[in-house]
C-alpha cells in the first residue's frame, strides 16, 4: 500500500504527540525505546547506515556507529518509520520489491526529526537561519534546507552554501 505524503507526516506527528515531544531536538532514540525497539550501534562498513530487524517478534534497530550523529539520528528515524509503517511487511534490500518503502520512510523520518509546525515556529523565531535551525534540531544543514523548501519557508535559490577554505 502506498501512503500519501500527508499521511506519512500525520503518522510521524502522532508519534511525537504520543510521546509528548514539545520542542527540538527530537529524541528519536527515546521514541524507539518507548516503542519497545532496542537500538544497537555497531562498527560496520561505511556504505551501511542501518536496518530494522524482527527477531522472533523482538525488534532491533542496528545503526552504524561510525556515522556522524546527525546521520545516525535520521537513520534511526527512518527505521522507526519502517517499524511504524511496514513492520508486518519487512523486506531487506536483496529481495525487496518495494523500493517505495524507503521513500516513505524518508518522508516520515524527515517529519519525525523536523516536525513541520515546530520548524515553522522556530524559523519565525530565528529568521529562517537554516544553519542555526539545523543545530537546534540536531540535523544536517542539507536536511534542514530540504525541509524548509518542502514546507515553503525558502525557495531553491534563497540560501547559499558556505564552505570553509583551507
CB atoms within 10 A of CB 37: 21
Render pLDDT for 120-132 as a digit per residue (tens, 0 to 9).
Answer: 999 999 999 999 9
Indicate the DSSP class of residue 40: E
Instruction: Determine contact, residues 123/153, Cβ cutoff 8 Å.
Output: yes
d(CA 48, CA 60): 16
Question: Which has the closest alpha carbon to 85: 62, 102, 97?
Answer: 102
**Residue 88's pLDDT is what?**
58
DSSP secondary structure letters along 102-127 = HHHHHHHHHHHHS-HHHHHHHHHHTT
| Statement: the pTM of the whole predicted model exceeds 0.85 | yes
Contact partners, residue 29, CB within 8 Å, separation at least 6: 39, 76
Query: Partners of 157 in the beta sheet?
Result: none
164, pLDDT greater than 50: no
Query: Partners of 62 in the beta sheet?
Result: 40, 51
**Residue 96's pLDDT is what?**
55
Q: Which residue has the higher pLDDT, 94 or 46?
A: 46
Residue 105: all three cell numbers together? 520512510
Render pLDDT for 69-120 as a digit per residue (tens, 0 to 9).
Answer: 999 999 999 999 999 987 656 555 545 555 677 788 899 999 999 999 999 9
Domains and CATH numbers, the chain: 5-114 (1.10.10.2910)
Amino acid at each position: 500500500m502506498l501512503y500519501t505524503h500527508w499521511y506519512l507526516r500525520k503518522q510521524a506527528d502522532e508519534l511525537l504527540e504520543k510521546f509528548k515531544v514539545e520542542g527540538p531536538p527530537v529524541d528519536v532514540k527515546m521514541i524507539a525505546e518507548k516503542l519497545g525497539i532496542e537500538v544497537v550501534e555497531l562498527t560496520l562498513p561505511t556504505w551501511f547506515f542501518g536496518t530494522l530487524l524482527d527477531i522472533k517478534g523482538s525488534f532491533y534497530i542496528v545503526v552504524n556507529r561510525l556515522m556522524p550523529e546527525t546521520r545516525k539520528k535520521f537513520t534511526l528515524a527512518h527505521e522507526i518509520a519502517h517499524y511504524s509503517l511496514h513492520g508486518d511487511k519487512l523486506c531487506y534490500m536483496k529481495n525487496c520489491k518495494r523500493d517505495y518503502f524507503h521513500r516513505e520512510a524518508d518522508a516520515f523520518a524527515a517529519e519525525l526529526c523536523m516536525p513541520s509546525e515546530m520548524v515553522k515556529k522556530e524559523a519565525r523565531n530565528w529568521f529562517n537561519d537554516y544553519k542555526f535551525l539545523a543545530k537546534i534540531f540536531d540535523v544536517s544543514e542539507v536536511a534542514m534546507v530540504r525541509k524548509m523548501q518542502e514546507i515553503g519557508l525558502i525557495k531553491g535559490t534563497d540560501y547559499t552554501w558556505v564552505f570553509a577554505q583551507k
